[in-house]
Structure 1
Amino acid sequence: MLLQITQYFTLFKISILGFVTAFVVAMLLMPILIQLIHRFKLFDIPDLRKEHTQPVPTMGGIAVCIAMVAACLLWIPISRDLFTISFFFSIAVLFVLGILDDLHNISVRNKFVIQIATASIIAFSGVRISHLNGLLGIYGLPVIFQYIITIVAITGVTNAFNLIDGIDGLAGGLGFMSLMMLGLFLGLGGDNTSAVIAFALAGALLGFLYYNFNPARIFMGDTGSLLLGFVVSVLSIRLMQLNIGQKQALLPHVPVFTLGIVLIPVFDTMRVFSLRMWRGKSPFTPDKTHIHHLLTTNGWSHSFTAKLLCTIHGLVLLLSYFLKDVPQEAGFAVLLLCMLLTAFIFERIKVPHYNPPKKTLVDSVEK
């Protein structure tokens, strides 16, 4: 057993160093960033979409991004391969986009254009969903569909993490768990560069979460949530590619497993968009119908809500792994039913004796 532990440590040594480095850098940078944000009054102002009632420092994603990149530069060998160049260029573009959006609220249309452009860069670098592993009887995909599905997937997951970043610790907690799982299997599959990226961002998020759990001293902002969703989506596709051409697949049900990695943010986004359109509204209309709002509007605290959703995410990750012995279509159905049941229960459980605040005239006018 000691030999096995030694082998695993050797395999993940660089990833562990990347994790620790990013964690330390994030912990050191976050207090400095909070002071600067207070000095320049760069606060997240409450509005109809948001849960907090007082201005809170935002753009914690700056420290997260710097910590991740610093760890990657330190522990990933310098490489000129197309994926590495494309990935870090895209990160830089999204980093600037996130800062500008946190400062000036860039239009949804312009954000989508930039996100589609960065997703396209990744797809053209060779990181594409090219194989569905037998899901619905489909294996290899025509090249044009590879590009379309990849760009839609990266853009969709990036926005899903952006949209679920609504209460303290939620997006960071979900992202941390997903990245740890991705880093583990990417390392086992021999993709050491991607594994280090996953563990580095996970370490940076852990340092951020120390300052973000309720009551939050700083939010990650779009600077962090766009980075998080983008990295998770790209690394999920890298994980899918590891199965191609191998005699013994690392994850025989990899489409189901990667769905589990992003299930809560993606399900929540699709659910909320569907409800808004059903009611005749734009899918981007601000409201409080996200899955975490189902609990907070019923009297549950932000802290409890975030911890409960992170616990459910952990159970989903375990379930998505152990579904490897069932048909992939059944695995998809099981995960979907789990989320439908979760949303159904969340809508109906209230804090005992909780009376929701009455709507004011201002609330009615806003809605």
Structure 2
Amino acid sequence: MKGIVLGITILSSLIISIVGFILLGKKSIFKFLIKKNTTAERWAIQSKPIFGGVMFYICFVCALGGIACVYGVNEILSHLCIFICVSLSFFMGMFDDLKNQGPLKKFISQILSATILIMCNIHIEISGNMTIDILLTYFWIVGIMNSINMLDNMDAITGLVSITILGNILGIAIFSENTDVSSIVILGAITTSICVYLYWNWNPSKIYMGDNGSQFLGIVLAIFSIKYIWNTSYTVHGFIYQNVVLIALAFLLPIIDTTVVFINRIAAGKSPFIGDRYHTTHNLVYMGMSEKGVARLFATISLISNSFVFYIIVFKPIRISMLLYILILVYIATLFISFFAISRYVKIKKITK
């Protein structure tokens, strides 16, 4: 039954996304959803449609409708909290796309979403201390929503990274002992929609996801990562905080990009929240890599990282030693140092020219 429902969901989302992107891709339709890069937040300067998130949200709503038809309205009510938070984030992102409201209102929306989730008992459970868990939940939700938003700075990057993370979470959900078919359907619908979106977002792109898309993906990734990675019941003897390592590995690239950008902007005396063209992706292009090459590199790194997370959580190796987690930390540190070193080299090279 689980496989049939997931198959129908993927097929339906595929059809809806293809038709939707074809129709909305025509510039004569919804001209108000065409945005120009006037603040240098993106790599490209062309005016392009920014409704990628619209199709993500439509597939999400259709998935909920399908769940209601198959399992009844009560099943939807159990996911009402998620629907409210995802809708709030999506429409706040859309409002920002249309009106350029700035970071404050977006931040308030993110705090509100996190508060609603916590009130609905959707929060990180890792320390045994409720106060620490709640504070960590606020930090995670707000942080990952902004991180995904910042990562959306070059064609296909955010879509590819999000697909590998969502695919990992979807796999964990499918193999979970306590199967939640509704979560599987929702994740399947969104992942399929992103796959279709990437066809139009691959360099040279014809469509952006916009803030409506990045805010949507940010809250979805935050919610389901809490459920299937942060709060996995699998524990490893000899390492108390293994889930922190797993979450860092799954979201490695968004975390590295945000951290490197924040450090460099603060060091330069600039606001870390004002966009520029010195993200990790941009620096690789300055070093001579093509935009498509950067996209492939990010997809490969994220796929490898999430494959490790999937293996550890799902297959539960009989013995995972402290050494393995040390090696994972070395892997994370190596990538961070590499990206940071590249960013400093590019900065110095620009200054000396």
**Shorter-chain TM band:** 0.7 to 0.9
Shift of residue 121 of structure 1?
A: 0.7
Match for 2:228 among 218, 233, 239? 239
Q: Which residue of 2 aligns with 1:292?
A: 281
- Counterpart of 1:112 in structure 2: which amino acid? F
Match for 1:91 among 81, 86, 93? 86
Please give the TM-score of this superposition, normalised by the length of structure 1.
Answer: 0.82
2:284·2:294 contact (CA, 8 Å) conserved in 1?
yes
1:49 has 2:41 as partner: yes
Distance 2:74 2:249 in 1: 31
Distance 1:120 1:114 in 2: 10
2:114·2:137 contact (CA, 8 Å) conserved in 1?
yes
Distance 1:245 1:315 in 2: 21
In structure 2, do the counterparts of structure 1 residues 198 and 84 end up closer, same or farther at CA, with 3 Å as the change threshold? same
Q: Secondary structure at the match of 1:79?
A: helix
2:242·2:325 contact (CA, 8 Å) conserved in 1?
no
Distance 2:29 2:342 in 1: 36
Q: Which residue of 2 aligns with 1:7?
A: none
Match for 1:340 among 336, 339, 345? 336
In structure 2, do the counterparts of structure 1 residues 129 and 312 end up closer, same or farther at CA, with 3 Å as the change threshold? same
Summarize the alignment of residues 176-187 of structure 1 with structure 2, pairs less than 5 Å apart. 176-187=163-174
CA deviations on 1:22-68 (whole Å, 9 max, x unpaired) are: 22211111121122565525322123222112211112211121022
Distance 1:106 1:37 in 2: 25
In structure 2, do the counterparts of structure 1 residues 241 and 52 end up closer, same or farther at CA, with 3 Å as the change threshold? closer
Q: Which residue of 1 aligns with 2:267?
A: 278
Shift of residue 200 of structure 1?
A: 1.4
Match for 1:65 among 57, 71, 75? 57
Q: Which residue of 2 aligns with 1:213?
A: 202
Shift of residue 195 of structure 1?
A: 2.1
Shift of residue 255 of structure 1?
A: 3.3
In structure 2, do the counterparts of structure 1 residues 15 and 346 end up closer, same or farther at CA, with 3 Å as the change threshold? farther
Shift of residue 92 of structure 1?
A: 1.2
Distance 1:81 1:144 in 2: 29
2:56·2:213 contact (CA, 8 Å) conserved in 1?
yes
1:260 has 2:249 as partner: yes
Please give the TM-score of this superposition, normalised by the length of structure 2.
Answer: 0.85
In structure 2, do the counterparts of structure 1 residues 243 and 286 end up closer, same or farther at CA, with 3 Å as the change threshold? closer
Distance 1:61 1:284 in 2: 22
Match for 1:113 among 108, 114, 118? 108
In structure 2, do the counterparts of structure 1 residues 53 and 246 end up closer, same or farther at CA, with 3 Å as the change threshold? closer
Q: Which residue of 2 aligns with 1:162?
A: 149
Distance 1:272 1:174 in 2: 18
Summarize the alignment of residues 113-132 of structure 1 with structure 2, pairs less than 5 Å apart. 113-131=108-126
Shift of residue 99 of structure 1?
A: 1.0
Q: For the aligned residues, what is the CA RMSD?
A: 3.0
2:124·2:231 contact (CA, 8 Å) conserved in 1?
no
1:148 has 2:135 as partner: yes
1:23 has 2:14 as partner: yes
1:176·1:206 contact (CA, 8 Å) conserved in 2?
yes
1:153·1:233 contact (CA, 8 Å) conserved in 2?
yes
Q: Secondary structure at the match of 2:330?
A: helix
Distance 1:106 1:92 in 2: 18
Distance 1:231 1:334 in 2: 29
- Counterpart of 1:118 in structure 2: which amino acid? S
Q: Bigger shift: 213-222 or 74-83?
A: 74-83
Shift of residue 141 of structure 1?
A: 2.3
1:18·1:75 contact (CA, 8 Å) conserved in 2?
no
1:43·1:56 contact (CA, 8 Å) conserved in 2?
yes
Distance 2:234 2:345 in 1: 48
Distance 1:181 1:241 in 2: 13
Match for 2:175 among 179, 188, 208? 188
1:40 has 2:36 as partner: no
- What is the number of residues matched between the two proteins? 334
Distance 2:14 2:67 in 1: 14
Distance 1:202 1:130 in 2: 26
- Counterpart of 1:287 in structure 2: which amino acid? D
Shift of residue 83 of structure 1?
A: 5.2
Shift of residue 11 of structure 1?
A: 4.4
Which of structure 1's runs of 4+ aligned residues deviate more than 6 A? 245-248
1:42·1:58 contact (CA, 8 Å) conserved in 2?
yes
2:67·2:182 contact (CA, 8 Å) conserved in 1?
no
Calculate percent identity across the aligned residue pairs: 24
- Counterpart of 2:227 in structure 1: which amino acid? R
Shift of residue 274 of structure 1?
A: 1.6
Distance 2:182 2:23 in 1: 30
Distance 1:31 1:158 in 2: 28
2:236·2:242 contact (CA, 8 Å) conserved in 1?
no
Q: Secondary structure at the match of 2:26?
A: helix
